Amino acid sequence: MALGRILVTGGEGFVGGALVAALRARGVDVVAPVRSVLDLTDAASVDAAVGDARPSHVVHLGAVTHLPSVLAEPTRAFDVNVLGTKRLLDAVGRRSPEARVLVVSSCAVFGSPEPSSLPLREDAPRRSAHPYGVQKIAVEDLAARYAEDLGLDVVVARPFNHVGPGQRTRFAVSFFAREIARRERGGGDEPLRVGNLEPRRELMHVDDVVDAYRRLLETRSAGGVFHVASGRSIRIGEALDHLLSLSSARIDVVPDPALHRPMDAPDLTGDASRLAAETGWKPVEEWRDTLAEILEDARRRAAETT
């Protein structure tokens, strides 16, 4: 399936920026409006953006994804995440009904799955207990309804946790890397305070995830939900230990109960067999190499600010 013009929502974000760069490097025509141009809370803005772009493909990454932000402003998060998706699908149905739409969901829809159910397949029960996961369940259901009832070509990507250079430091791995880099440059000798290090998460490289999205755009698949997952989870504490092993700085790590998030699932691991069978995708980046790349990026940023 040849890629024509691609409209990307959330193109200013971590994954969106990586996707836009990767597609443009391949010579693809990408339209990635800034938030002031494509406001997901404004139906007229969304309709105009789709109408102006006339895309052959749409990637919907625009969302409030940070759980504390969702909890702090639940009404706004619902407006962006759920109603914003509906506004976009409505606009595509009016303006570019032949376009393939890739709606990006999240493994947060599973809440805290039983260990015996891991790695999770696409048909695993969705049992999220927090607002972000519940909103993503609604997004997935909207995508299914627009595909089945209106005939739109909608595919859902359900990615598991991914990291990479440039990710915001409100996420654990990037935070650890920034703090290590800061201390390497004499930024203080206070201990590194951390939350719960026991949860296990996939640490896919963002480039692998972007490659999966591109393949889903290019492949005329049967539709539905596709897991984007490596099938392997890493304990957050092991990730921190590896980052520390790459540094000569002496850093004390102190657990801080105030940083614990009670809604964190103990483990989230996915099975991407369907994606592999349909598109040939598989992750190629090794998690230790990914962490080393993130730390090098943090060091570069620390050098630029001192």
**C-alpha to C-alpha distance for 51 and 243, rounded to whole angstroms:** 46
Q: What is the pLDDT of residues 180-221, one digit of tens each?
A: 999 999 877 889 999 999 999 999 999 999 999 999 999 987
As separate numbers, helices (DSSP H) first and strands (DSSP E) second, the chain gives 11, 13
Rounded to two decimals, what is the model's pTM?
A: 0.96
Mean pLDDT of the chain: 95
The Cβ of residue 289 has, within 10 Å, a number of other Cβ atoms equal to 10
pLDDT for the residue numbered 187: 72
Average pLDDT value for residue range 76-102: 98
Q: What is the pLDDT of residues 102-137, one digit of tens each?
A: 999 999 999 999 999 999 999 999 999 889 999 999
Whether pLDDT at 79 is above 90: yes
The CATH label, of 3.90.850.10, 3.40.50.1970, 3.40.50.720, 1.10.8.80, for the domain at 5-162+206-231+266-284 is: 3.40.50.720
**C-alpha to C-alpha distance for 134 and 267, rounded to whole angstroms:** 18
Alpha helices (H) in 118-170, listed in sequence order:
131-150
Whether pLDDT at 1 is above 70: no
Q: Where are the domains of the chain?
A: 5-162+206-231+266-284
Residue 292's pLDDT band, with cuts at 50, 70 and 90, is: very high
According to DSSP, residue 270 is labeled: B
